[in-house]
Chain A
Amino acid sequence: MNFLSAMRRIGHMVNKEFIQTLRAPQMRWLLFGPPIIQMLVFGYAATLDVRNVTMSVLDFDNTQESRELVAHFSASRYFHLNSYASRPAELRYGLDRGDILAALEIDSGFAQRLRDGQGATVQVVMDCSNSNTALVALGYINQIGANFSHDYQFDQMQRTAPEKVSSLPQVDLEVRPWFNEGLESQWYFVPGVIGNVMLILVMMLTAFAVVREREIGTLEQIMVTPIRRWEFILGKTIPFFLVGCFDATLIALVGTFWFGVPFRGKVGVLAVGLVAFILAALGLGLFLSTVSKNQQQAMIASFFFTMPMITLSGFGTPIASMPPLLQKVSYANPLLHIMVILRSVYLKGSGFDVVWPEIAALVGIAVFLLTISVLRFHKSLE
């Protein structure tokens, strides 16, 4: 009986909250707009692939060999040869303007040195203002150079000692990219978006919902009703939990059917992980609501938390590249753990045997945050 009436009170609270949230068109938009935008942006725009690096060539040698080297570049899908320069100043100008990212300068005598077996050097100027692109492109340039050398050497051997060509030793690396065979960045980003969206929805909206009541003064009205504290907290958070689940499903469906991201794991494993994560986010939202007096403060406080949380979650850039101190700090970040769970369940099909430490960490964070905020919530009412 007691339980039933508690359920009924929670039901009223949930109902009120839904009406309040869905009534304003702006709020409706906020619930469903950002997830879809994030999804599309990350699906299409967030890529660190390096392809079609714009390049210009200045060929002082102009021989068969030098043209052969240039052909190796233009045949590669990593480079896009967009102009031939005739003076070094043109290369400089192109790099300054940002029209080209790489410039290849072949000195005269290139072919002669090759034929003499002296080995020839070619100058490459890279615009390294974007270090990631530059680093990857330099790797490709070296590979192309090695291929050219190999082809040239092979050619020469065929002319001088054709009988020995077949026994020239060679070690090949067979690369097997597991879990993401086509090395698609969409596959990496789309599952992560679920974590971001859930965090923002659940944490921000929970914080706002509680603070709004306090700011407008309706919190006191609610407190004189027979509803208990935990019923109030549950009633406040259940709607956002449901909205969060709805958005997560939406993203998952778009990710699978539009972007073709595979789901290889079990829904159950993901669900347990997500529930643990949502509890942690709820705890954080409630905590924020106890430290802020009005919506503006709640906004700033939640912003203060979300930015570092997303940056330090391994969502966009790998944790392993961060300084050791930041890496340690980021273990307290629930978003980091859900990222690992999402990506392993999606792409690797991992089960509980692999992701249990992450789930345990999430539960620990959730218990800690919920305890603190419920204790503080008690105080903040007085």
Chain B
Amino acid sequence: MSLRRIFAMMRKEVIQIWRDPLSLLVIFAMPIVQLIIYGYGVNLDIKHIPLCVYDRDATQTSQDLLKHFQATDYFSIVHVGGSYRDIVQRIDRGACTVAVVVPPQFSEDLQAHGQAPVQALLDASDSNTASIGMGYALSIVQAYSQGVQIEWQQRNGMPPATPNVTFQPRTWFNEDLESMANIVPGVVAMVMAVVGAFLTSLTIAREWERGTMEQLIATPVRKLEIQIGKLIPYFVIGMMDTALCAGAAVWWFGVPFRGSWSVLFACSALFLIVVLSLGYLFSVTAKTQLAASQFALLTTLLPTFLLSGFIFPIDQMPVFVQWITRILPARYYVSILRNIFLKGTPVRILAENILALGIIAVLLIIRATRAFQKRLE
């Protein structure tokens, strides 16, 4: 192993990256575009659900109930319906997600029989928005119902029952319940997975495809020197991108940072080694840039997006899918990132995740090193 040869290899790779405007685009523009798209575009805070109301009773009481819907910012009333047909059509068109229908004789029923139903029609084709909207609507009607009961008890000379049990929620780790605080640390993992695996997946395959591999083979450089020399520039780039994304998360998006920066960078370095080895492995085995980059994208981007807990919580997945997520490096890294950013978790508690990443890293390095043969077939 010669440091001089490794350095020469590195220099060649850096020059190649620097001259290729598209590589530069991936390195510097991609993280920023991803941060903006995910940071602003992926928002699960569901507010201002479009609501239609159809008041068939049209009394003081029914208007009172509907005012409760008006008062929250969970719903915004987009239309006051004139007929049942009108309401149905609006739901069909997707003009409103929820429609509240107050039946005729609502106030009479409430006074005479004590029981009065109100109907809520939901466009449940988007099941998440629908179930959250359903929760909001239920609690609004519940609050209204409680108000009616207290009034009734006062009128009948009974002791006014104060609401018996109230919960005092303490929202730890993300006090304002911002989905951005949850999403943006995950974006760091996305950017690194893409930049790391994607760029390296092209390095060796490019040499094979353009025929320059033969020239490399003719030089005295050893295969381990090629590997190290090729990967170090991408490692440095990856760390720069991590710093860029983490910095933007804290100072631009205002995500709290409660852990230690050194732990963050140490874990990021470990994750980078994993994705770089993965990209390198594909590059060596696929030999065409198209196939290598496709494999790299499929194995890093899609799982990082879907199975790492970035958006969809892992504990809600079926058990066999949860088992599959255990072999994904991104799962451990996303969990580490979120813990460091939001919880400020000490290393002791992160140990399991770090260990898992370490094992994956060692296995991949061994596999990637073995896969590359510096000879023509």
Q: Which of A126, A175, A326, A347 has the most CB of B within 10 A?
A: A175
Contact with A174, one of B120, B124, B349 (Cβ below 8 angstroms):
B120
Chain A count of residues within 8 A CB distance of the other chain = 111
Q: A118-B162, A174-B117, A312-B37 are contacts. A141–B127 as well, Cβ < 8 Å?
A: no
Nearest residue, chain B, Cβ from A186: B127
- Which one, B175-183, B231-239, B262-270, is touching chain A? B175-183
Q: A148-B165, A297-B22 are contacts. A131–B174 as well, Cβ < 8 Å?
A: yes
Determine the chain A residues whose CB is within 8 A of the CB of B70 once the complex forms: none
Query: CB distance A318 to B169 under 8 Å?
Result: no
Query: CB distance A126 to B169 under 8 Å?
Result: yes
Determine the chain B residues whose CB is within 8 A of the CB of A308 once the complex forms: 33, 37, 41
Within 8 A of B (CB), among A300-354: 300-301, 303-304, 307-308, 311-312, 316-318, 320-323, 326, 340, 343-344, 347-348, 350, 354
CB distance from B263 to the nearest CB of A (A): 15
Q: A171-B145, A321-B47 are contacts. A177–B161 as well, Cβ < 8 Å?
A: no
Determine the chain B residues whose CB is within 8 A of the CB of A26 once the complex forms: 286, 288, 291, 294
Q: Which of B127, B148, B163 has the most CB of A within 10 A?
A: B127
Query: CB distance B179 to A124 under 8 Å?
Result: no
| CB of B217 closer than 8 Å to a CB of A | no
- Report Cα–Cα, A123/B198, bound state, in Å: 47
| CB of B8 closer than 8 Å to a CB of A | no
Query: CB distance B132 to A136 under 8 Å?
Result: yes
Determine the chain B residues whose CB is within 8 A of the CB of A130 once the complex forms: 182, 313
Query: CB distance B37 to A317 under 8 Å?
Result: no
Q: A51-B316, A128-B173, A321-B47 are contacts. A311–B149 as well, Cβ < 8 Å?
A: no
Determine the chain A residues whose CB is within 8 A of the CB of B125 once the complex forms: 179-180, 187-188, 343-344, 347-348
Query: CB distance B126 to A161 under 8 Å?
Result: no
Contact with B43, one of A37, A117, A179, A321 (Cβ below 8 angstroms):
A321
Query: CB distance B179 to A131 under 8 Å?
Result: yes
CB distance from A275 to the nearest CB of B (A): 22
Determine the chain B residues whose CB is within 8 A of the CB of A46 once the complex forms: 306, 312
| CB of B215 closer than 8 Å to a CB of A | no
Within 8 A of A (CB), among B80-131: 91-94, 110-111, 113-131
Q: 1/0 contact trace for A28-41 toward B, CB 8 Å?
A: 00100110011001
- Report Cα–Cα, A41/B128, bound state, in Å: 17
Determine the chain B residues whose CB is within 8 A of the CB of A69 once the complex forms: 165
- Report Cα–Cα, A311/B297, bound state, in Å: 16
Nearest residue, chain B, Cβ from A346: B125
| CB of A139 closer than 8 Å to a CB of B | yes
Determine the chain B residues whose CB is within 8 A of the CB of A220 once the complex forms: none
Nearest residue, chain A, Cβ from B309: A130
Determine the chain B residues whose CB is within 8 A of the CB of A89 once the complex forms: none
Interface size class of B (residues with CB under 8 A): 35 or more
Query: CB distance B138 to A173 under 8 Å?
Result: yes
Contact with A171, one of B40, B110, B315 (Cβ below 8 angstroms):
B110
Determine the chain A residues whose CB is within 8 A of the CB of B120 once the complex forms: 173-176
Determine the chain A residues whose CB is within 8 A of the CB of B164 once the complex forms: 114, 119-120, 148-149, 152-153
Query: CB distance A350 to B135 under 8 Å?
Result: no
Query: CB distance A131 to B45 under 8 Å?
Result: yes
Query: CB distance A47 to B37 under 8 Å?
Result: no
- Report Cα–Cα, A102/B282, bound state, in Å: 42
| CB of A146 closer than 8 Å to a CB of B | yes
Determine the chain A residues whose CB is within 8 A of the CB of B283 once the complex forms: none
Determine the chain A residues whose CB is within 8 A of the CB of B146 once the complex forms: 146
Determine the chain B residues whose CB is within 8 A of the CB of A354 once the complex forms: 92-94
- Report Cα–Cα, A343/B126, bound state, in Å: 9
| CB of A243 closer than 8 Å to a CB of B | no
Query: CB distance A142 to B141 under 8 Å?
Result: no
Determine the chain B residues whose CB is within 8 A of the CB of A96 once the complex forms: 343, 345, 349
B residues apposed to A, CB below 8 Å: 22, 25-26, 30, 33-34, 37-38, 40-50, 65, 91-94, 110-111, 113-132, 134-139, 141-142, 144-146, 148-149, 152, 156, 158-159, 161-175, 177-179, 181-182, 194, 198, 202, 206, 286, 288-291, 293-294, 297-298, 302, 306-307, 311-313, 315-318, 321, 335, 338-339, 342-343, 345, 349
* 22 chain-A/chain-B pairs, Cβ below 8 angstroms: A27-B291, A49-B316, A54-B315, A69-B165, A96-B345, A117-B159, A119-B163, A124-B170, A126-B170, A128-B175, A128-B177, A131-B44, A143-B135, A143-B138, A164-B158, A169-B148, A174-B119, A180-B124, A320-B129, A321-B44, A323-B40, A354-B92
Q: Kindly list 8 other residue pairs between chains A and B, CB separation below 8 angstroms, not including A48-B127, A132-B182, A173-B118.
A: A119-B164, A125-B170, A131-B177, A138-B171, A161-B158, A178-B124, A295-B289, A317-B42
Sorted nearest first, the 6 A-B pairs with minimum C-beta distance are A177-B124, A180-B124, A149-B164, A128-B174, A173-B141, A139-B135
A residues apposed to B, CB below 8 Å: 24, 26-27, 30, 33-34, 37-38, 41-42, 44-52, 54, 69, 95-98, 114, 117-136, 138-143, 145-146, 148-149, 152-153, 156, 161, 164, 166-181, 183-185, 187-188, 208, 212, 295-297, 299-301, 303-304, 307-308, 311-312, 316-318, 320-323, 326, 340, 343-344, 347-348, 350, 354
